[in-house]
Amino acid sequence: MIAWIRIGLAVAAVLITTLVLLPFHLVFLWLELPWRNRLPRLWHKAALWAIGVKVHVHGGPEQRRPLMIAANHSSWLDILVVASVVDATFVAKSEVRDWPVFGLLARLQRSIFIKREERRQTREQADEMATRLNAGEAVVLFPEGTTTDGNRLKEIKSSLFAAATSAARHAPGGIVHVQPVSVTYTRIHGMAMGHYHRPVATWPGDVELLPHLMGVLKTGAIDVDVRFGDAVDVTPASNRKVVSGVVRDQLRDMLEKSLRGR
């Protein structure tokens, strides 16, 4: 019974926050005002508070622009977590657009939807990301291309960094800053998660979304570490595989530190 009360209160809090902020956000989107990128951060902070997720931040986002953020990916929660600390636009797979609730939220946040399987659209999608980057927006991508169990990093897809080299051609100084950011779920009700309990927060994809969402709401007490790494300067001449290697090494190091409680 207590768990269902918690779920009801969390859902009510998120709905009330949405009803209050949505009219303002729609106006900001219509008028193309800077707050169209800033207001979502307030919503994500409120949503995380409502569902009981506490974010611990180590370091901070790079202040120079253009900025691309490369984060590891283990849950739908990652988007809420990263968006609660950075005014950002996300790169998402095209099917997310049609997801219930989350698809609408992604569209309201002006996410960039890509179809990785359609190579003919790769250049067009990279150009859209480059345009957003050079407009001063922080663009977040998950270069693993899929979610994990939260205990390890999968292979980084270097092709996703094509937008950074493309944007660098037109960026001031010819540089785009790529910053690794790790997101690690570490505690549940104040106790270390470990491999056994981490699936409460992580969502590797073989679990239906709604049951996982309900599980998070029932838990109501999850801690997550967000670590910001050192930005990598990318130029039009940069080798994407070299860039992805540097990003991979930083992400692995930061993930390990959070998992070990350092």
d(CA 132, CA 54): 30
Counting residues of the chain whose pLDDT is more than 90, the rounded percentage is 49
Write the pLDDT tens digit of every residue in 214-240: 888 888 899 999 999 999 999 999 999
Please check whether residue 71 is in contact with residue 225, taking contact to mean a CB–CB distance below 8 angstroms. no
- pTM of this prediction exceeds 0.85: yes
% of the chain with per-residue pLDDT over 70:
95
CA dihedral 22, 10, 146, 60 (to 10 degrees): 70
Q: DSSP characters for 77-93?
A: HHHHHHHTTS-EEEEEE
Q: Which residues of 111-147 are buried (b: 16+ CB within 10 A; e: fewer)?
A: bbbbeeeeeeebeebbebbbbbbbeebbbbbbbbeeb
For residue 10, give both structure tokens: 């969390």
In 135-239, where does DSSP find H-type helix?
162-168, 194-197, 209-219
**Vertex 103: Cα angle to 247 and 153 (nearest 5):** 25
Name the DSSP letter for residue 70.
E
Tell me the β-bridge partners of 91: 112
| Residue 80: band (very low, low, confident or very high) from pLDDT cuts 50, 70, 90 | very high
